[in-house]
Amino acid sequence: MIEIDDQAIDAIREIVNIGVGRAAGQLQEMTGSHIRLQIPSIRIVPFDDITTVGNTIISGDTLSAVLLNFKGTFSGISAVMFPPESATALVMLLTGDIEKSPELDALRIEALKEVGNIIINAVMGSIANVLSEHLVYSIPTYYEGPMINLARLKRKTSHDECVLLARTNFLVEKLNIEGDILLILEIGSLDALVASIERVSA
């Protein structure tokens, strides 16, 4: 297991916190409801274990997620994930649809992709800006299913490859809509990220 000192963890937590804080602001503006944000948890775990270190959203049977791959000085995946009921409730709220038994159909998935796009762009834009780093991004994609399958889909090298997992849980108060903002960073990028943070801090 790769070790990382507390100072670096704190620095990464702070940078992630700035990003998710901005994303929460965007979400608050969209929903008109206060967003309760948890402090980001930062862990270094084998890729295959990322489903076991999170909360019920990550370990649940299924989740609705918007994903964005990024490459550059540091590389990884940024994602916003919802339990399907929360995803549906959020889209229904934002589109003003009223239905007795709503489901995430093609149009609502597109709407959720836009919401996820706004949140992730706020996170990544903020991090890249603060660190003055140029990153190359993929087109955002939507995923629905268990996290374990997603982890397998995105696995690039070996099963036991370690990644840095930054997870922030948020709750749209009054509406009981919850979600996770995830940042999965390839471990090879860690030194570059820490160096970048130190450079900015200095």
Partner 1 sequence: MRIQKKMEDTPDETMPFGLLDLIPNGIVIIQPDYSISFWNACMAEWTGISAEEAKGTNLIERYPALTKPSVFDRISQLFEGGPAVLFSSSFHPHLVPCSFPNGGLRVEKISFIPLHHNNRMYALVLIEDVSDLTNQVKAYRDMKNVADNQLNDLKKARDAIYLANKKLNLLSSLTRHDINNQLTILIGYIELIRDTEGLDPTVRDYLDLEYQAAETIMNQIQFTRFYQDIGIKTAMWQDVTETIRAAVKPLALKGIDLTIDLPPLEVYADPLLQRVFYNLVENSIRHGERLSNVRFSSVEDDNGLSIIYEDDGVGVPYEVKEKIFRREFFKHTGFGLFLSSEILSITHISIRESGVPGTGARFEMLVPMGTWRMEEKST
143 binds partner 1 (CB under 8 A): no
Decide whether 11 or 111 has the Cβ nearer to partner 1: 111
**What is the nearest approach in angstroms of partner 1 to the Cβ of residue 72?**
10
Cα angle: 141, vertex 175, 57; to 5 degrees: 45
Residues 193 and 155: their CA atoms lie apart, in Å, by: 21
70 binds partner 1 (CB under 8 A): yes
Number of amino acids touching partner 1 (CB under 8 A):
30
Asked if 81 and 63 count as a contact pair (C-beta separation under 8 A), the reply is yes
Stretch that binds partner 1, among 8-16, 138-146, 174-182, 190-198 (CB under 8 A): 138-146
Q: Which of 27, 65, 111, 150 binds partner 1 (CB under 8 A)?
A: 111
105 binds partner 1 (CB under 8 A): yes
What is the secondary structure of 106-151 as a DSSP string?
A: HHHHHHHHHHHHHHHHHHHHHHHHHHT---EE---EEEEE-HHHHH
Q: Is the dihedral of CA 88, 93, 94, 98 positive or negative?
A: positive
Counts for the chain of helices (H) and strands (E), in that order: 6, 8
Residues 116-135 within binding reach of partner 1 (CB under 8 A): 117-118, 120-121, 124-125, 128-129, 134-135
Both tokens of 152, joined, read 């397998």
**What is the nearest approach in angstroms of partner 1 to the Cβ of residue 199?**
17
Both tokens of 130, joined, read 């603060």
Residues 81-100 within binding reach of partner 1 (CB under 8 A): 91, 94-95, 99-100
- Any idea which residue has 């370690």 for tokens? 162
Stretch that binds partner 1, among 33-41, 47-55, 104-112, 157-165 (CB under 8 A): 104-112
**What is the nearest approach in angstroms of partner 1 to the Cβ of residue 162?**
25
- Any idea which residue has 């009223």 for tokens? 98
Residues that bind partner 1 (CB under 8 A): 68, 70, 91, 94-95, 99-101, 105-108, 110-111, 113-114, 117-118, 120-121, 124-125, 128-129, 134-135, 137-140
